[in-house]
Amino acid sequence: MSETRTGAQIMCEALIREGVEVMFGIPGGAIMPFYYAMWEYRDRLRHVLCRHEQGAGHAAEGYARATGRVGVCIGTSGPGATNLVTPIADAMMDSTPLLAITGQVGSHVLGKDAFQETDITGITMPITKHNYLVKDVNDLAYVFKEAIHIATTGRPGPVLIDITKDAMQKSTVPNWEQKLHLPGYKPTYAPNRKQVREAVKLLLSARKPLIIAGNGVIMSGAVEELRQFAETLRIPVITTLHGIGSFPESHPLSLGMPGMHGWVHCNRAIQECDVLFNIGGRFDDRVTGKASTFAPNAKVIHVDIDPSEIGKNVRVTVPIVGDARLTLQALLDELPPREELAELHSHASDWLEHIRDLQDKHQGKQQYVNRANTAQWALPPHDVYEKLNRTLAARGNYRVVTDVGQHQMWAAQLIDWNAGPRTHITSGGAGTMGFAVPAALGVAIACPNDTVWAIVGDGGFQMTNQEMATIVQEKIKNVKIAVINNGYLGMVRQWQELFENKRYSGTPLSGPDFARLAEAYGWKGLTVEHSDQVQAAIDEAYATDGPVLIDFRVEREVNVFPMVPQNKSIAEMIITEADAR
């Protein structure tokens, strides 16, 4: 039988009941009752004191993306709450299950511009899946149950609970038995059988079919079903930035990444295919380029758990609302026996051979190896990725978290992603600089047996590197940071070089000595300025029992190719430096 609890105690017990073990946050005035109560539950609820609420939010995102479980972040009212806005928006764009808890001023002064009062529920309304303002202690037990249910079901996303200080301080007997009542919220998991049969019919009639696999495959745990489906029909597979890890790149049917900085053969295949099967991706503009010109010859099958995504950006022939794993299982059930697929397999072989010819012509990753001018550079960035990639493959048990910019695209292009789902974690939809270091903190806590590499640019690194102190305070040893330091906001500089006649407005970037900064935080800091130092530094990072930062001072003005200029078709790629001139 329940006993009387304060609202703050109810908050703690509600989180424990929902399986939460770790929270990331910073205390302050309005949220103080929660922190006071937290002390009683410290053996079951680990609180990680971050240095900025944005860092707390990204750390919770990293934890969520590495585990698939809800990540929890905490801030007080006013600036504490508004500092959480960026990671909340990031979680919304990337479908990350996030619970943001914020303290609010007392209910008796709401709307009176009290100290640190901000309408955070109003601010976050367009960037949350749902949010609450709780003023009654009797509502807390149910609201927490409902909030976590909403954050983690259907298309996952962020939910915010804003709680007045007096609601945390008052007492009641919580009703833990109240059942969820959400008549307007019923996610569709099982696909429509008629649409599944239409999709199978279309795929069996195709001569040039193509699969695009997105993050939905990873979130639903459909990796094995995707492999079976692709192998049965012998359809080539492209993986989006967030779909990386859903299909091993060493597989004979794997093509790599499409879109703005995707491979030429992937984009050419999209433009030539006659049936495009998108499973768990949302056709964002980084994939489609100019949407009206995307896949002009294809009939499109789109599977997404969120019905609002279907038909939003690309016309769809067969829409299927459902969970990716359940849909792939239903599709597999509808396929004919393998002995009836001989003709299909013959066409598939011709199609795949054609795409491989395109790949050979445009080289893909090989183009970086063949860059003659890199011999003149002390440290081409690609040398860092080549050696890091080789080391990751040899040592195993790793997660890679990337920030946003050129280094992010190089990582997506140049690392061989064969370690499975949730090993590549990045900010895709919002493109949030400053994501990687705090997200790596969350990933490292979630995956203590893995080595967590945060690959960051010198711009994004300087936005949130204070969380290095959090990593030391928490005695976390399995984080290594690789700063791809080119002294610019690199991706913006690239655009200025290619499209604004090298008018580098606001992009040259200075910074401190990052290795010495790392040492000031209690990390080992290394500096690398020549290619022949790269491998030794990576090896030393692995040999060090603790966090290590390597400042890779790379050639400053290197561009990411291929690329699709803004508002252009993915058929209009700039493939090499020569094309850009």
**Radius of gyration for the alpha carbons in the chain, expressed in angstroms and rounded:** 25
283 is catalytic: no
Catalytic residue among 23, 54, 146, 165: 165
Cα–Cα nearest to 429, from 86, 133, 50, 178: 86
* Residues 164 and 110 sit within 8 Å (Cβ to Cβ): yes
Q: What are phi and psi of 452, to 5 degrees?
A: -105, 115
Q: What are phi and psi of 494, to 5 degrees?
A: -60, -45
Distance (Å, whole) CA 551 – CA 40: 42
Distance (Å, whole) CA 397 – CA 355: 32
Cβ-based neighbours of 534, under 8 Å, separated by 6 or more: 379, 383, 384, 387, 388, 528, 552
3-state helix, strand, coil in the chain (%, to 5): 45, 15, 40
Catalytic residue among 38, 257, 491, 573: 491
Q: Which pLDDT value is given to residue 399?
A: 98
Question: Residue for token digits 């695209």?
Answer: 409
Residue 361 has, within 13 A of its CA and on its CB side, a CA count of: 11
* Order of strands across the sheet that contains 98-104: 46-49, 22-25, 71-75, 98-104, 158-164, 130-134
Crossing angle for the helix pair 7-17 and 140-152, to the nearest 10 degrees = 30
Catalytic residue among 21, 32, 116, 145: 116
The DSSP result for 249-268, as a single string, is TTSTTEEE--STTS-HHHHH
Residue 543 has, within 13 A of its CA and on its CB side, a CA count of: 6
Distance (Å, whole) CA 230 – CA 237: 7
Three-state DSSP state, 70 = coil
- Kindly report the number of other CB atoms within 10 A of residue 3's CB atom: 8
What pTM value is reported for the model?
0.96
Q: Count of residues for the chain?
A: 581
499 is catalytic: no
Q: What angle do CA 288, 358, 215 make, to 5 degrees?
A: 35
Distance (Å, whole) CA 156 – CA 234: 31
Q: Which pLDDT value is given to residue 406?
A: 97
Per-residue confidence in pLDDT tens, the chain, 581 aa: 579 999 999 999 999 999 999 999 999 999 999 999 999 999 999 999 999 999 999 999 999 999 999 999 999 999 999 999 999 999 999 999 999 999 999 999 999 999 999 999 999 999 999 999 999 999 999 999 999 999 999 999 999 999 999 999 999 999 999 999 999 999 999 999 999 999 999 999 999 999 999 999 999 999 999 999 999 999 999 999 999 999 999 999 999 999 999 999 999 999 999 999 999 999 999 999 999 999 999 999 999 999 999 999 999 999 999 999 999 999 999 999 988 998 888 889 999 999 999 998 886 666 666 565 666 889 999 999 999 999 999 999 999 999 999 999 999 999 999 999 999 999 999 999 999 999 999 999 999 999 999 999 999 999 999 999 999 999 999 999 999 999 999 999 999 999 999 999 999 999 999 999 999 999 999 999 999 999 999 999 999 999 999 999 999 999 999 999 988 999 999 988 777 76
Distance (Å, whole) CA 204 – CA 202: 6
Catalytic residue among 115, 178, 540, 566: 115
Catalytic residue among 13, 18, 53, 386: 53
Distance (Å, whole) CA 202 – CA 317: 10
116 is catalytic: yes
Q: Which pLDDT value is given to residue 579?
A: 78
Structure confidence by residue, pLDDT tens digits, 78-125: 999 999 999 999 999 999 999 999 999 999 999 999 999 999 999 999
